[in-house]
């Protein structure tokens, strides 16, 4: 079979000691930097890109891929432990992950994120290898109308996702849209709400807003409370492994997350972020089993599903890059840059 042939050839190239070592270094560096709040995969890859210049092309690509996945995973660690999403695709992990950590279940939450990511990553790779050519056809068919529908889906998803007042949820979405308007208008080139500050003409970064809303808000609110009311997670991370019960709940969530992530990852622009949000929305819509913790209070499915989805999405987002030569998101654009530096044509 052609697929097995190609895969075994790939493994043959990757499974040399030096390449595995570079992969390990890339993963460790990516995770270390991805753990820092406010530094997402884009910034991480941009910073570590020069480190690969001296390497031969194949090793460089392997190391970059390692950095990419490491950064993707590192984001979920801070999300769970300190309530700060390291990057945009782990924003939803915060909701249930941090609640689990507050209940002293940080270990299982981290394990769920890790195992889910690993499984979804493996499946994503297989999909990438097997279905790249037919999937490209699908991505070709996406026009403005389809993207518009997709965005509407995302916004409706955000309303469904919110708990509490519906009106406030819609108001927050409008606020988000308004903040997104800051910067240069794509159609007319007019810099809106930039107050002649050059940095603002590029718009406000997602991470800056996430840090402000989730990070600073939390820090200031915590400090303003008297000592006895303060909510700081101090319990030790004990027992990394989820219980049997956890596994039983995690498994369907991981499978759903993987399927959704793989499907949405192919779309340019959406990728990991949309996949994570959609996966969480779906989990929230499924019925709670008796005795299960509700969502938003530390449900393990709320960690496993989005984390699986964003990893599967991260994998399949290589498809448009490798088949069409078009980068679906900023990270992939950097990868194209890196490939060009190493004289690897992105498109076959």
Partner 1 sequence: MKIKSQKDFFSGLMFTVVGVAFAWGATTYTVGSGARMGPGYFPLMLGILMALIGLGIMFSGLTVETTDGEKIGKWAWKQVVFILGANLAFGILLGGLPSIGVPAMGMIIAIYALVIISSLAGHEFKLPSVLILATVLAIGSYVAFIWALKLQIQVWPTFITG
| Binding characters for partner 1, 24-53, by CB under 8 A (x = yes) | -----------------------xx-xx--
Residue 192 interacting with partner 1 (CB under 8 A): yes
Among 187, 234, 238, 343, binds partner 1 (CB under 8 A): 187
Q: Name the residue nearer to partner 1 (CB basis): 168 or 347.
A: 168
- Count of residues near partner 1 by CB under 8 A: 28
Listed residue (341, 334, 275, 340) closest to 67, CA to CA: 334
Enter the tokens of residue 58.
């194949």
Among 15, 190, 290, 291, binds partner 1 (CB under 8 A): 190
Following CA atoms 33, 34, 40, 44 in sequence, which dihedral angle do they give, to the nearest 10 degrees? 40
Among 9, 129, 208, 221, binds partner 1 (CB under 8 A): 221
Q: Name the residue nearer to partner 1 (CB basis): 218 or 292.
A: 218
Among 216, 241, 248, 286, binds partner 1 (CB under 8 A): 216
Q: What gap in Å lies between CA 145 and CA 41, rounded to an integer? A: 29
Enter the tokens of residue 106.
């940080």
Listed residue (307, 329, 308) closest to 317, CA to CA: 329
Instruction: State phi, psi for 56 to the nearest 5 degrees.
Output: -65, 155
Q: What is the DSSP letter of 158?
A: H
Q: Name the residue nearer to partner 1 (CB basis): 13 or 221.
A: 221
Radius of gyration of the chain (CA): 20
Q: H or E segment at 343?
A: none
Among 54, 227, 345, 348, binds partner 1 (CB under 8 A): 227
Find the shortest distance in angstroms from Cβ 167 to partner 1: 6
CA pseudo-torsion sign 161, 306, 34, 328: negative
CA pseudo-torsion sign 307, 310, 87, 75: positive
Q: Name the residue nearer to partner 1 (CB basis): 52 or 316.
A: 52
Restricted to residues 126-185, the positions that interact with partner 1 (CB under 8 A) are 165, 167-168, 170-171, 174-175, 177-178, 181, 185
Binding footprint of partner 1 on the chain (CB under 8 A): 47-48, 50-51, 165, 167-168, 170-171, 174-175, 177-178, 181, 185, 187-188, 190, 192-193, 216, 219-221, 223-224, 226-227
């Amino acid at each position: 079979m052609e697929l097995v042939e190609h895969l075994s050839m790939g493994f043959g190239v990757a499974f040399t000691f030096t390449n595995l070592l570079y992969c390990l270094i890339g993963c460790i560096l990516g995770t270390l930097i991805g753990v820092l709040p406010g530094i997402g995969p884009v910034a991480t890859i941009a910073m570590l890109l020069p480190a690969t210049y001296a390497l031969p092309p194949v090793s460089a690509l392997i190391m970059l891929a390692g950095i990419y996945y490491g950064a993707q995973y590192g984001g979920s660690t801070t999300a769970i432990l300190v309530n700060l999403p390291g990057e945009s695709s782990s924003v939803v992990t915060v909701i249930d992950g941090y609640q689990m950590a507050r209940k002293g279940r940080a270990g299982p939450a981290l394990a769920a994120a890790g195992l889910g990511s690993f499984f979804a990553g493996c499946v994503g790779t297989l999909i990438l290898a097997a279905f790249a050519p037919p999937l490209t056809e699908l991505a070709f068919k996406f026009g403005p109308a389809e993207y518009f529908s997709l965005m509407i889906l995302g916004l409706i998803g955000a309303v469904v996702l919110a708990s509490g007042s519906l009106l406030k949820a819609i108001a927050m979405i409008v606020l988000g849209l308004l903040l997104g308007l800051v910067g240069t208008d794509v159609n007319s080139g007019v810099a809106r709400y930039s107050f002649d500050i050059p940095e603002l003409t590029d718009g406000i970064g997602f991470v800056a807003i996430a840090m402000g809303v989730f990070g600073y808000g939390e820090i200031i609110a915590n400090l303003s409370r008297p000592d006895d009311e303060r909510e700081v997670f101090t319990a030790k991370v004990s027992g990394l492994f989820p219980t049997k019960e956890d596994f039983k709940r995690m498994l369907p969530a991981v499978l759903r997350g993987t399927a959704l992530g793989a499907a949405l990852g192919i779309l340019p622009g959406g990728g990991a972020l949309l996949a994570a949000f959609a996966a969480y929305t779906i989990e929230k819509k499924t019925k709670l089993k008796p005795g299960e913790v509700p969502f938003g209070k530390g449900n393990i499915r709320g960690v496993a599903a989005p984390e699986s989805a964003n990893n599967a999405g991260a994998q399949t987002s290589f498809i448009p890059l490798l088949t069409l030569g078009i980068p679906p998101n900023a990270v992939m654009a950097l990868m194209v840059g890196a490939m060009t530096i190493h004289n690897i044509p992105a498109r076959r």
